[in-house]
Amino acid sequence: MKLLIGVSGASGGAYAVALLKEAVRLGCEVHAVFSRWGAEVLRLECGHGPEDFPDVRLYDPDDMSAPPASGSTLYDGMVILPCSMHTLACAAHGMSFNLLQRAAGVMLKEKRPLVLVPRETPLSIVHLENMLALARAGALILPASPAFYHKPRDLDALINQVAGKVLNALGLEQNLFPAWSAPEERTPGHACRGREKAAE
Ligand SMILES: Cc1cc2nc3c(=O)[nH]c(=O)nc-3n(C[C@H](O)[C@H](O)[C@H](O)COP(=O)(O)O)c2cc1C
């Protein structure tokens, strides 16, 4: 699978780190665009920069001639994670001030899978209407709201659950968190199995 991962300047760069690593581990061809503030917030929150992912093909957010700007580049899916309200608004209104926003518009016009992972709270009516417009245009809105039913034992388990959910939405099997099973099928230690496998 050829994936384009966009990282914008919302909080939650750790989700992007988990997604980038797992997508590479699964054998995907991973391309990425970090907005200027996507790179800044990632550095601030995680101490990582875009250059820390050697197996990922990086594009300059200001280069509108790069492959993600064209519908002739055949990505199987695009994810924006985390998705800021600014990038979300631009995508909802067909505006492309950088390559990340342009690529989102391309995915919509080509009717290819686009998963947006917004991170903001609370949400204004403007944010909600932008999300509705994008959902109507064919995007999947997958908020960065980790679940607790798998009994996460630490922060990594919560982060991995969101990144794993994104991969599932693209039809990819992942090892970041275990699929739900009925309580009687579970064994002690189940909660961290996904994370332990990912660490192997
Ligand atoms: C530390 C930090 C955290 C931020 N968190 C969020 C956030 O969670 N959601 C959001 O929509 N914007 C957030 N912002 C604001 C965006 O970075 C800002 O709107 C920026 O213009 C987004 O640009 P981009 O969409 O091109 O990445 C944050 C900014 C900083 C510096």
Question: Residue written as tokens 């800021």?
Answer: 84
User: Domain map of the chain by residue range?
Assistant: 2-199
The DSSP secondary-structure symbol of 179 reads P
Centre of ligand 1 from the C-alpha of residue 34, in Å: 12
Please tell me the total number of residues recorded for the chain in this structure.
200
Centre of ligand 1 from the C-alpha of residue 192, in Å: 31
Q: Ligand 1: which of 86, 87, 128 to mutate, most ligand atoms within 8 Å of CB?
A: 86
Ligand 1 neighbourhood includes 37 CB (under 6 angstroms) = yes
Buried b / exposed e along 161-200 (16+ C-beta atoms within 10 A):
bbbbbbbeebebebbbbbeeeeeeeeeeeebbebbeebee
Give the tens place of pLDDT for each residue, 158-167: 999 999 999 9
CB 113 within 8 A of CB 74: no
Pairwise CA distance, residues 126 & 62, whole Å: 27
For the chain, the average pLDDT equals 92
Q: According to the model, what pLDDT value does residue 192 have?
A: 45
CATH of domain 2-199: 3.40.50.1950
Question: Residue written as tokens 């290819």?
Answer: 112
Ligand 1 neighbourhood includes 130 CB (under 6 angstroms) = no
Ligand 1 neighbourhood includes 86 CB (under 6 angstroms) = yes
CB 13 within 8 A of CB 46: yes
Pairwise CA distance, residues 107 & 31, whole Å: 14
Nearest C-alpha neighbor of 153 from the set 187, 179, 189, 186: 189
Pairwise CA distance, residues 140 & 159, whole Å: 19
Q: Ligand 1: which of 8, 84, 97, 119 to mutate, most ligand atoms within 8 Å of CB?
A: 84
Give the tens place of pLDDT for each residue, 121-178: 999 999 999 999 999 999 999 999 999 988 899 999 999 999 999 999 999 998 898 8
Ligand 1 neighbourhood includes 84 CB (under 6 angstroms) = yes
CB 173 within 8 A of CB 127: no
The DSSP secondary-structure symbol of 2 reads E
Please report, in tens digits, the pLDDT of each residue of the chain (200 residues total).
Answer: 999 999 999 999 999 999 999 999 999 999 999 999 999 999 999 999 999 999 999 999 999 999 999 999 999 999 999 999 999 999 999 999 999 999 999 999 999 999 999 999 999 999 999 999 999 999 999 999 999 988 899 999 999 999 999 999 999 998 898 888 777 666 555 444 444 444 44
Pairwise CA distance, residues 92 & 137, whole Å: 8
**Assessment of whether the complete model's pTM goes beyond 0.85:** yes
